[in-house]
Amino acid sequence: MDLSMSNRVKGQAFAPDFLVSVTVFGVMISVFLLSWNSMIDTQVSGFEDRQQYQQGERAVTQMVADSTEDWDNPEKLGLASKPYVLNSSQIEEFQALNHSRQISLLQTQNFSLSINSRSQSFEMGFEPDGDSAIPFRREVLLRNNNTLERAEVRYISWR
């Protein structure tokens, strides 16, 4: 009789080692889920940055390699008379467009564009103030009144 009584006293619904193992397992799952979510957030942010970089690269390449024939209804942005030879009259036409039209041609939300040579300077857009500003720089020639001179194109886009 004494033996059966001791078995009843020792029998418990949840043993302490089971509770400890459930707690440790729960902590491990929580740490895994938190690290997984931060890893996914980093990958999404990296994808957005890559997408922004590719868009900026396309915009600046198109800007210095193509030309726009119809500035009344431009389909694409091109400031060049020949690839990497910018035309000052094309730049002035782009500069004369309203800001929302410039943004739609560049396919960005925020931009800063400066084209500088020894004798001329063009500035458009705003000063960068976003989280991730991506700068692009190209060396080109600038045609002004049938003379060519070296110029630098600086284009910055940001979110």
pLDDT at residue 140, as a whole number: 95
With bands split at pLDDT 50, 70 and 90, how would you rate the model's confidence at 121?
A: very high
Q: Give yes or no for residue 1 having a pLDDT over 80.
A: no
Cα(145)–Cα(50) distance, integer angstroms: 39
Cα(26)–Cα(19) distance, integer angstroms: 11
Burial-class residue 59 by CB neighbours within 10 Å (0-12, 13-18, 19+). buried
In the DSSP assignment, the letter for residue 150 is E
Residues 30-54 pLDDT 10s? 888 777 777 666 666 677 778 888 8
Which stretch of 11-15, 79-83, 147-151 has the lowest confidence by average pLDDT? 11-15
Cα(158)–Cα(34) distance, integer angstroms: 29
Query: Strand order in 121-125's β-sheet?
Result: 80-82, 85-87, 134-144, 147-158, 110-117, 121-125
Domain coordinates in residue numbering, the chain: 29-158
pLDDT at residue 109, as a whole number: 83
pLDDT at residue 11, as a whole number: 59
| Percent above pLDDT 70 for the chain | 86
Q: Give yes or no for residue 21 having a pLDDT over 60.
A: yes
State pTM to two decimals.
0.69
pLDDT at residue 154, as a whole number: 95
Q: What's the one-letter identity of residue 150?
A: R
pLDDT at residue 32, as a whole number: 80
As given in the structure block, the two tokens for residue 99 are 């800001």
Q: Give yes or no for residue 130 having a pLDDT over 80.
A: no
Phi, psi of 49 (to 5 degrees): -65, -45
Q: Residue 62 in contact with residue 138, Cβ under 8 Å? A: no
pLDDT at residue 120, as a whole number: 92
